[in-house]
A and B are shown apart, each in its own frame.
Chain A
Amino acid sequence: MADAEPKTNAEDYLRMYRQMVRIRTFEDNANQLYLSAKMPGLTHMYSGEEAIAVGICEALTDEDRITSTHRGHGHCVAKGAEFKEMFCELLGKEEGYCRGKGGSMHIADQSHGNLGANAIVGGSMGIATGSALRAKLQGSDDVTVCFFGDGATAQGLMYEVMNMAALWKLPVIYACENNGYSEYTRTEEIAAGSITARAEAFGIEAHQVDGQDVLAVNALTRRLVERARRGEGPFFMELMTYRYHGHHVGDINREYYRSKDEEKDWKENRDPIIRFRAWLVTEGIASEDEIEAMNAEIVKDAAEAVSYAEAAPYPDASEVDMHVYAD
């Protein structure tokens, strides 16, 4: 694990661990809900990438904004969302964050600065950059983090907004979650050259970091956020990670593009939760028992939230055009 910065304390570490486990647990439940045909639409699992969302969001405040992706449950949890409202949203229920209209791929939680998931690959890059422009014009010191995957680096929008952000020194951090696969294709087969070099071409300072190391991600993000607040942005991070599930929940027979051995290796040897758990025990921050108790509590929370959401009412039909704008 990367060296911890001195000012963080045991509570911060435990919260990071807890948030990572909450994401993993949320996804396990969401996966089962989907496979058992209780959830409409389509959904994409964040499992395996938890250290990125948590490492980054733990360096942000509620005033800071993020934009999320189609694989966005992890970002939403990490930015402070509650299980109940999230499961309600996934199931289309009235108490969901978007009153059930957003679902898995359009969930937004403005109360914690999550401007929303986006079903369009790379679709939130303009929104994140616009948010940073807003901060600059208003003279506020909040920072916007734009999450996107390696596949999104093929979108032209990214190059347009990085150009603007660099010209105007906007407080935005582009966080590329490189999980090695663009849908069903190895990223090295679709992306020529280096990903960080794409940002460097615009004069944007770019870093590559181990996305399975929550402390490394958090330490880097905290430094970049502080500098972005001082007007030194934008920045670019490439976070090397791995998605445990398929591209989407139905992508279950994957051997034709990715071997089981490779998946096993990442899960057993590079899992962000297992690694951080071992570090917490070694450093004496938590005992195995305490960690097990924490895990069990989260599993219980999630199960309760799922039951609650399953029983919760759908929005009234009269709401069908509420919060829908045509202009």
Chain B
Amino acid sequence: MPHEVTMPQLGMTQDTGRLVQWLKQAGEKITRGDLLFEVETDKATMEIEAQADGFLTHVTAGEGDEVPVGKVIARISETADAPDDDTPRSHEPARAVPEPAIPPASPPATETTSKASIEPPSAPGRILASPKLRRIAREEGLDLARLARAGHPQPYHMRDLETLRSLLPEAASPAPSASMRLRAACPQDGFAEFARWAADAQGLADADALLAGLAGASLGHGETVVAVERFGAMRAYRVPRARRLSAVTASDDAPVLRVRDLRGTAIETVAIGAEALPVLTITQRGSALEIILECSAGQMDGPAAIALLDAFASRMREPLRHLF
């Protein structure tokens, strides 16, 4: 009686296996224990040994096919030209699971962000994903953080690969021009204490006005309007050319720069992409601050963005620098 070769079930959550390649050809003589074929599961690629002696016949699964576990993919028969028998076994193509349409050669993710990008965007924290998915994502230049940003629950497995690939075009077409993201680390938050001092000693109780003043002055081009956003609420301030913080006043004019203050939230970092105007986002980790500048190349060129972020981060670390 011929031995049936099936797609093996190798794990608890495995429904299908991808036949990577046959290591023996149809008609070839097989000895039990020979490596027969290679299968790829959601976790690993494994070599499967033959469980019987004989000749490989009735091969119904081709290389690259995704085959349900338990499905017969070949036989090991007593002769190389064993005839079909009457039992209507699975002779239909074993491709029961349709091959998903894979966009050919997805462009590497690095191309999706601007050449001017200093740091590729990434979602906060470590992404939980299977080693295999990590490897393939790396090979294809896909950023697993996109799945996290799109709201897909972690951990990610091979079954999420298609979703990840499909996310690419959407993320690859940022609005008018490519976005820049610059990150500055501020080991010490000098601003909080400065704001307390300004309120107590100088009567400048509106800390947002101070924040707007420091950001506006960091732009370095005279009078300007800066918005401060916190918990979705926004207030704009006019920052005078003289940079005096006591002269920063509330304004209804359109801002040219936005400061998004996420201190006190659980958010550790952001990668939102360019918005209608350049955005400086402040997040807090312990006593340290992280400041992200995101803008489009049309809004600001690289050197200007670097100068803005550096000046603002220096002021946040040591507000006295504002005086110089």
Contacts and interface: CB of A to CB of B under 8 A. Distances in A.
Nearest to B12: A42
B192 interface: no
Interface string B51-84: 1000000000000000011100000000000000
Contacts of A253: 44, 46-47
A301 to B, nearest CB: 20
Given A35-B6, A36-B6, A37-B6, A250 B70 contact: no
Contacts of B70: 36-38
8 contacts: A35-B8, A36-B8, A36-B9, A37-B68, A37-B69, A249-B10, A250-B41, A252-B48
Contact of B10 (A32, A38, A39, A252): A252
Interface in A32-49: 32, 34-39, 41-42
Contacts of A250: 8-11, 14, 41, 46
Interface of A is mostly: loop
Given A37-B70, A38-B70, A252 B9 contact: no
A34 B46 contact: no
A38 B71 CA distance: 11
Interface in A11-52: 32, 34-39, 41-42
Contacts of B14: 250
A32 B69 CA distance: 12
Interface in A223-269: 249-250, 252-253
Given A35-B6, A36-B70, A37-B6, A42 B46 contact: no
A250 B46 CA distance: 9
List the 5 closest pairs (A to B, CB-CB), nearest first: A37-B70, A250-B10, A37-B69, A37-B9, A35-B8
Nearest to B44: A253
Given A253-B46, A253-B47, A42 B11 contact: yes
Given A36-B8, A37-B68, A253-B44, 7 more contacts: A37-B7, A37-B9, A38-B70, A41-B12, A250-B8, A250-B14, A252-B46
Interface residues of B, number: 18
A68 to B, nearest CB: 20
A250 B9 CA distance: 7
Contacts of A36: 6, 8-9, 70
A34 to B, nearest CB: 6
Contacts of A249: 10
Interface string A186-197: 000000000000
Contacts, number: 38
Interface of A: 32, 34-39, 41-42, 249-250, 252-253
Contact of A34 (B9, B41, B49): B9
Question: Which of A39, A42, A253 gathers the greatest number of chain B CB atoms within 10 Å?
Answer: A253
Interface of B is mostly: loop
Contacts of A39: 9
Contacts of A252: 10, 46-49
Contacts of B7: 37
Nearest to A41: B12
Interface in B1-51: 6-12, 14, 41, 44, 46-49, 51
Contacts of B44: 253
A42 B11 CA distance: 7
A41 B12 CA distance: 5
A303 to B, nearest CB: 13
A35 to B, nearest CB: 4
A25 to B, nearest CB: 15
Contacts of A41: 12
B101 to A, nearest CB: 27
Nearest to B41: A250
Question: Which of A35, A38, A39 gathers the greatest number of chain B CB atoms within 10 Å?
Answer: A35
A115 B25 CA distance: 49
A34 B7 CA distance: 11
Nearest to A39: B9
Contacts of B41: 250
Nearest to B70: A37
B89 to A, nearest CB: 13
Nearest to B39: A252
A62 B123 CA distance: 59
A221 to B, nearest CB: 34
A91 to B, nearest CB: 13
A38 to B, nearest CB: 7
Contacts of A37: 6-9, 68-70
A123 to B, nearest CB: 18
B301 to A, nearest CB: 51
Contacts of A35: 6, 8-10
A35 B9 CA distance: 5
A34 B8 CA distance: 8
Nearest to B47: A253
Contacts of B6: 35-37
A252 B51 CA distance: 13
A38 B44 CA distance: 21
A38 B8 CA distance: 10
A39 B51 CA distance: 18
A250 B12 CA distance: 9
B12 to A, nearest CB: 4
Interface in B164-220: none
A49 to B, nearest CB: 22
B57 to A, nearest CB: 19
B321 to A, nearest CB: 54
A248 to B, nearest CB: 8
Contacts of B11: 42, 250
Contacts of B48: 252
Contacts of B68: 37
Nearest to A250: B10
Nearest to A37: B70
B76 to A, nearest CB: 14
Contacts of A38: 70
Nearest to A32: B51
